[in-house]
Amino acid sequence: MQLPEKLTALKPYDPITGQFDIRLDANESYFDLPAVLKERIAAKLEQLDFNRYPDPLATDAINAFAAYYQIPAECVTAGNGSDELISILTNCFLQAGSKLVTVSHDFSMYRFYAALAEMESVVVPKTEQLQIDVDALIAAAQDAAAVIFSNPCNPTSLGLPRAEIIRLIERIPGLVIVDEAYMDFWNESVLDLVSQYENLIVLRTCSKAIGLAAVRMGFAVANPTLTGYLRAAKSPYNCDAVSQTIAAEVLQEQSLLQSCRNEMIVQTQKLYTMMNELARKYPDYLDTVYPTRTNFVFVKTAYAKEIHGALAAKGIAVRCFPDGLRICCGSRREQTLLRYAFEEIFQPE
Ligand SMILES: *Cc1c(COP(=O)(O)O)cnc(C)c1O
């Protein structure tokens, strides 16, 4: 038996293990759902026919999503997390051997799925300031089947203004897939443009600002033609009835969602200020702190691995990259404890 190398070379996803009091590593919301809302969801779940397959079109969840973002439901496809949608797009909208353009730094899953789909993946480096080089991206994408990137970006936290995204959509002949996983924290979305462009697909998720990482719901938004193909290509029952029910309930909670979002933006700005103060105080250890359009902060440091390990020993999880740390916003208490931890690490007794 011969299994393909693209499979056997894979390393299993390494979820963080060990006991962490403070989790600032996965860009989740630090708000759990209020108890009254959990009760309302529990009542809805009681009414489910657990013996029946779920709605393949996730109608209630899609309608709630479309209403929340004020877009037509006919442009929306639901996925088992936006991760699944990325997998469907690479496997079904693109052909083996065709070219997918990504940028670096960016979300690592794009290249993971591109490799499994046997695509040629071309990486366009970002500028010195970690911004997308729009002209280089346009040039690299002229013979590409698709371009995919996150905006605002995970892990840099930087955003590309809407006018620049429009320039990309108009100058790139292939598909332009804009992953707006963090766009709830900024306001330069191109969601409203999907009907105007034949080559635009926007991805959204319930895992970040919406606070439903446990539930696995993501959405792809595109014109009705692309949406028709996407709905045809996905597996019929990709979103289970429990997730659909929960997402439909929570997406109706407009004022709750907006106040959680606003609170996270405030905490992220405090985290940014705090990291800047620490970087000024300990310039040997911390380098640039990047301005953030997301719910996390990216700090450049040559000691990412060491600091990551020292924080972990204190029960604090952050995300480590070769050249920096990605730290998600937390509650006031969590961020205060993070500050104490940094002070102890950099100034040991
Ligand atoms: C977290 C994240 C996602 C979300 O994936 P889900 O599968 O919906 O949880 C997608 N794209 C980016 C860039 C992310 O950071």
Q: Is the pLDDT of residue 167 over 70?
A: yes
The reply to whether ligand 1 has any atom less than 6 angstroms from the CB of 107 is yes
Domains 5-30+255-346 and 35-252 share a fold: no
Question: Measured in angstroms, how far is the CA atom of residue 47 from the centroid of ligand 1?
Answer: 30
Q: Is the pLDDT of residue 11 over 90?
A: no
Question: Measured in angstroms, how far is the CA atom of residue 207 from the centroid of ligand 1?
Answer: 7
Q: What is the largest CA-CA distance in the chain?
A: 64
Question: Measured in angstroms, how far is the CA atom of residue 83 from the centroid of ligand 1?
Answer: 6
**Contact (Cβ atoms closer than 8 angstroms) between residue 167 and residue 194:** no
Q: Domain 5-30+255-346: which CATH class?
A: alpha beta
Least confident of 16-25, 280-289, 339-348: 16-25
**For residue 13, what pLDDT band results from cuts at 50, 70 and 90?**
confident
Q: Is the pLDDT of residue 349 over 90?
A: no
**H or E element: which one contains 219?**
strand 218-222
Q: Is the pLDDT of residue 14 over 80?
A: no
Question: Measured in angstroms, how far is the CA atom of residue 2 from the centroid of ligand 1?
Answer: 33
Judge if pTM exceeds 0.95.
yes
- Domain residue limits, the chain: 5-30+255-346, 35-252
Q: Is the pLDDT of residue 263 over 90?
A: yes
Q: Does domain 35-252 have CATH number 1.10.3720.10?
A: no
Average pLDDT value for the chain: 96
Condensed to tens digits (0 to 9), the pLDDT of residues 230-245 reads: 999 999 999 999 999 9
Average pLDDT over residues 227-231: 98
Nearest atom within ligand 1 for CA of residue 82 = 8
**Contact (Cβ atoms closer than 8 angstroms) between residue 121 and residue 261:** no
The reply to whether ligand 1 has any atom less than 6 angstroms from the CB of 180 is no
* pLDDT score of 16: 74
* pLDDT score of 19: 84
Question: Measured in angstroms, how far is the CA atom of residue 349 from the centroid of ligand 1?
Answer: 40
* Region class of 61: left (phi > 0), else alpha (psi between -120 and 50), else beta: alpha
Question: Measured in angstroms, how far is the CA atom of residue 283 from the centroid of ligand 1?
Answer: 32
Nearest atom within ligand 1 for CA of residue 150 = 13
β-pairing, 324-328 with 319-321? antiparallel
Rounded distance, CA 16 to CA 344, Å? 23
Report the nearest-CA residue for atom 2 of ligand 1: 181
Average pLDDT over residues 155-180: 98
Q: Is the pLDDT of residue 39 over 80?
A: yes
Condensed to tens digits (0 to 9), the pLDDT of residues 17-27 reads: 778 999 999 99
Least confident of 37-41, 73-77, 90-94: 90-94
* pLDDT score of 242: 98
> For a pocket test of ligand 1, which of 25, 77, 83, 251 has the largest count of ligand atoms closer than 8 A to its C-beta?
83
Query: What sign does the CA torsion over 209, 211, 214, 215 have?
Result: negative
Question: Measured in angstroms, how far is the CA atom of residue 346 from the centroid of ligand 1?
Answer: 32
Token pair of 17, please? 């293990």
Closest to 200 (Cα-Cα) out of 231, 224, 172, 169: 169
Condensed to tens digits (0 to 9), the pLDDT of residues 292-331 reads: 999 999 999 999 999 999 999 999 999 999 999 999 999 9
Rounded distance, CA 317 to CA 53, Å? 38
> For a pocket test of ligand 1, which of 149, 203, 207 has the largest count of ligand atoms closer than 8 A to its C-beta?
207
